[in-house]
């Protein structure tokens, strides 16, 4: 999983909006670390949430595998929701009968709660993508990481009407052991990717489609974006990629938890 830097400058302008939640949520967690496999297929490293809480313990390792097995594909959509592009992505997913995982930022969720609710109502899953998409957060303090992850969790849950994110994806892949453990303690499985379509760079729909066709053998989790700029190429690429994947015998699922 290579780091990508899409949106760092775009999101940096909204940094610092939420500072209320800190690492206190981690204090009562009980950790069991039995393995450090990163493919997510046999998660053994788990975090037990606060006793008496309603959070499901999940593995602290970074998930890549699909719950549909070896011929499964996980479509993941980052950085939104966006009022222009997210509805178009939702329309395409509905047209082809595909469920996806939307990695949303706290600021975008707070700005567009109607779209977060539409994502949930369509049967898609939510993923915490931090408050402000700081791709250098792995170089920041644990208190800062806590604020970014936990405030985003709260903002997303409020925007959705009470549906919590089930995953945590670090911006640009900037995971740390601390951030993975914190997310897992909140029932959010750390989520990676296998295929980076580079759609954030707008290389053209043909290039995005070719990347998926060339690299899907590397693993099932595919990274797209529905915010951060003009996503017309992403929409066009999805229009072509989704039926192609079906023709190849793939089925669409969710990342393992």
Q: Please say if the pLDDT value at position 180 is more than 80.
A: yes
Percent of the chain with pLDDT over 90: 78
Domain that holds residue 228: 74-248
Q: Residue 5 domain-assigned? A: no
Domain count, the chain: 1
- What pLDDT score was predicted for residue 54? 61
**What average pLDDT does the chain have?**
85
pLDDT greater at residue 32 or residue 153: 153
* Selected residue with higher pLDDT from 85 and 54: 85
Taking CA atoms, 224 is separated from 45, 79, 103, 187, 229, in Å, by 28, 9, 10, 24, 13
Query: 61: phi > 0 → left, psi -120 to 50 → alpha, else beta; which?
Result: beta
Q: Is residue 89 part of a domain?
A: yes
Q: How confident is the model at residue 227 (pLDDT cuts 50, 70, 90)?
A: very high
Instruction: Kindly indicate the confidence band of residue 57, based on its pLDDT and cuts at 50, 70 and 90.
Output: confident
Mean pLDDT over residues 150-173, rounded? 98
pLDDT given for residue 148 in this prediction: 98
DSSP sequence for the chain: -----TTHHHHHTTTTS-----GGGGTT-EEE-----SSSSS---EEEPPTT--PPPEESSPB--BTT-TTEEEEEEES---TTHHHHHHHHHHHTT---EEEE-HHHHHH-HHHHHHHHHTT-EEEE--SS--TTGGGS-HHHHHHHHHHHHHHHHHHHTSPPP-EE--GGG---HHHHHHHHHTT-EEB--SEE--GGG---HHHHHHHHHHHGGG-SEEEEESSSS--HHHHHHHHHHHHHHHHTT-EE--B--
| Confidence (pLDDT) at 27 | 35
CA distance 62 to 43: 9
Catalytic residue among 64, 112, 124, 225: 225
CATH of the domain at 176: 3.20.20.370
Q: Is 225 a catalytic residue?
A: yes
Q: Residue 60's closest CA among 165, 168, 156?
A: 168
Among 25-29, 98-102, 177-181, the range scoring the smallest mean pLDDT is 25-29
Q: Which residue has the higher pLDDT, 56 or 5?
A: 56
* Residue 235 belongs to some domain of the structure: yes
Name the least confident of 31-35, 44-48, 161-165, 174-178: 31-35
- Whether the pLDDT of residue 176 is over 90: the answer is yes
Name residue, tokens 């925007």: 159
At 44, is the pLDDT very low, low, confident or very high (cuts 50, 70, 90)?
very low
Classify residue 85: in a domain, yes or no: yes
pLDDT reported for residue 46: 43
> Which candidate in 4, 78, 82, 129 is catalytic?
78
The lowest-confidence range among 52-66, 77-91, 128-142 is 52-66
Q: Average of pLDDT values for 141-160?
A: 98
- Of 158, 146, 156, 223, nearest to 185 by C-alpha is 146
Is there a domain that residue 136 lies in?
yes
Q: Report whether pLDDT(105) > 90.
A: yes
Considering the entire predicted model, what is its pTM?
0.82
In a domain, 29, yes or no: no
Q: What is the pLDDT of residue 1?
A: 64
Place of tokens 């797209």: 224
Is residue 179 scored above 80 in pLDDT?
A: yes
- Confidence category of residue 4, pLDDT binned at 50, 70, 90: low
Within 13 Å, how many C-alpha atoms sit on residue 181's CB side? 15
Residue 78 annotated to the active site: yes
What is the reported pLDDT for 24? 34
């Amino acid at each position: 999983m290579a780091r990508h830097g899409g949106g760092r400058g775009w999101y940096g302008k909204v940094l610092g909006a939420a500072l209320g939640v800190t690492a206190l949520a981690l204090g009562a967690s009980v950790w069991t670390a039995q393995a450090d496999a990163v493919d997510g297929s046999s998660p053994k490293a788990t975090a037990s949430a606060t006793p008496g809480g309603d959070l499901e313990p999940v593995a602290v390792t970074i998930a890549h595998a699909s719950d549909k097995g070896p011929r499964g594909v996980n479509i993941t959509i980052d950085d939104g929701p966006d009022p222009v592009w997210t509805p178009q992505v939702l329309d395409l997913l509905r047209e082809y009968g595909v469920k996806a995982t939307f990695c949303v930022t706290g600021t975008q969720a707070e700005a567009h709660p109607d779209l977060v609710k539409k994502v949930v109502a369509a049967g898609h899953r939510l993923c915490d993508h931090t408050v402000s998409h700081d791709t250098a957060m792995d170089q920041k303090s644990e208190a800062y990481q806590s604020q970014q992850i936990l405030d985003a969790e709260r903002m997303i849950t409020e925007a959705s009407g009470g549906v919590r994110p089930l995953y945590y994806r670090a911006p640009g892949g900037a995971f740390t052991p601390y951030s993975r453990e914190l997310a897992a303690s909140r029932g959010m499985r750390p989520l990676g990717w296998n295929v980076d379509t580079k759609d954030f760079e707008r290389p053209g729909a043909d290039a995005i489609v070719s990347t998926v066709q060339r690299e899907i053998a590397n693993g099932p989790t595919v990274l797209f974006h529905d915010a951060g700029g003009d996503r017309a190429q992403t929409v066009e690429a999805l229009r072509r990629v989704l039926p192609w994947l079906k023709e190849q015998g793939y089925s669409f699922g969710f990342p393992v938890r």
